[in-house]
Amino acid sequence: MKGLTSFVSFSLFLIFFISGKAYANIAPLKILKDGVEPVKNPPVKIESAQINVSPYYNNIKFSCAYTLKGIDNIDNLTIGIPGDLGYTLEAGYIENLNVFIDNREVDYKIYNTAKSLSGIRDNYSLRFKWHTFNVPIKKDTETNIFLNYDISWRTSEENNNPYYIIPFMFSTDKLFGDVKNYRIQYLNDDQISPPDVRIIMNSVAEYNNISKSALSPALNNNQLLWRFDNTNDLHDFRLYVLSYQKAASNFSTNTSIDYSIKWALLNNNYEQLSKIFEQITQNQKLSTLTSNDRGTAAYLASEFYYRQKKYNKALEMLSLPYKTNIWPVYIKYEYINALKLKDSNNYSSFMEELQKLGQYNEYVLARSFADEEIKPAAEAIAKTAIEESSIEEKVDNSNTKYNKYLLYGSAGAAAICIIYLLHRSHSH
């Protein structure tokens, strides 16, 4: 299979081994002789921010709207967006930047990071090239800034892998002080599958110490939404989203099957896609495919069966002996199996799967699903226990006995929730 194995392997190398600061939005800057440096607490604060992010061909498009309010008067406040040469995942290469201040387009200048920085040196890469512009600030007056730009990496593997990697560095925005009404929207090119979304924090802080706002984005089909209303909620992180549109369209058998895949993708024909990729796993005549290629095909087939709610078939695909490094198979298996168990009202086994999913800190949507479902599942188990006890002991309908069982059941549900939370906290 042309190229897919190599760029998937390279992508996983990047995910697990590259660290450092990620993409930023804006930062207040001071111009020095040899460049610029970020500064804290300028005479302006962020009243609101709306950050819209979406894939755009092989790039990631940012559209950022800020409303700033002056605390004091300043003729020209220098504000910058950091980017690098694009060879790492630190910031990416900035392209097609447009800057508007109060609906008027303004020019920008590029500066290197100064070699000699003051107290916040450790927080910012010396490789950053700052795209800067000047903003006149008036006390108690709002100023609207709109930024439109693309980011990319100057590595063909990174731009063509099946993941979208969107780095954010909100520590720059925190330099403005208090932040209110801060919103981020990520709009994917395809339906987002919860077990295929990952957030990697850029700090060494434990996930228990990261704000829930950062780790619990709202999901709506192909959209992720974060809401922040406190400066402490802003964290630096990288978002990884597996794009089935990219993974499927880049899958190559070097046969006419490839045209069938593209046609089915064009028509969002999940039934056809699931069958095609299942057949690829079974077709031994496709001698150029490796075991990893067949494992990737099985993973893709499982997703398209899952979208049809054919959970048994999806689990069957994930149980094939072929392995893939496109994404951890067991997380997707446990998530789909949990949905199947819930649909069949098998709450005891459903609870077991939730306990597993609750341990995957970086897989934030899978973990959020477990957090949301744990209490209703515990209540369902308690209710079942009450009903079974009523049948076995042939209890009458007196309020005394009913309330006794209700009390026992509620206590049992609470105990299950407590055990789950304790188990998850100790595992961290």
CB 80 within 8 A of CB 173: no
Please give the order of strands across the beta sheet that includes 35-38: 35-38, 27-32, 74-83, 129-137, 109-112
pLDDT digits (tens, 9 = 90+) for 321-346: 998 888 899 999 999 999 999 999 99
Specify the pLDDT at position 18.
Answer: 33
Task: Indicate if the pLDDT at residue 316 is higher than 60.
Answer: yes
CB 97 within 8 A of CB 145: no
pLDDT digits (tens, 9 = 90+) for 75-84: 999 999 988 7
Task: Indicate if the pLDDT at residue 40 is higher than 70.
Answer: yes
pLDDT digits (tens, 9 = 90+) for 376-399: 999 999 888 887 776 666 555 555
Which two three-digit tokens encode residue 54? 């979406």
CB 322 within 8 A of CB 387: no
Domain boundaries along the sequence of the chain: 4-243, 251-327, 347-427
Task: Indicate if the pLDDT at residue 198 is higher than 60.
Answer: yes
Specify the pLDDT at position 179.
Answer: 80
Q: How many residues does the chain have?
A: 428
Query: How many angstroms separate the Cα of 196 from the Cα of each of 9, 20, 205, 331, 399?
Result: 16, 23, 23, 9, 48
CA 88 – CA 21 distance, rounded (Å): 10
pLDDT digits (tens, 9 = 90+) for 232-269: 788 888 899 999 999 999 999 999 999 999 999 999 99
pTM of the model: 0.83
Q: Distance between alpha carbon 334 and the CA centroid of its chain, in Å? A: 19
Burial bucket for residue 228 (CB in 10 Å: 0-12, 13-18, 19+): buried
CATH number of the domain at 4-243, out of 1.25.40.10, 3.40.630.10, 2.60.40.3680, 2.40.50.140?
2.60.40.3680
Please give the order of strands across the beta sheet that includes 182-187: 104-106, 93-101, 142-152, 59-70, 44-56, 182-187, 223-228, 218-220
- What are 223's strand-pairing partners? 187, 220
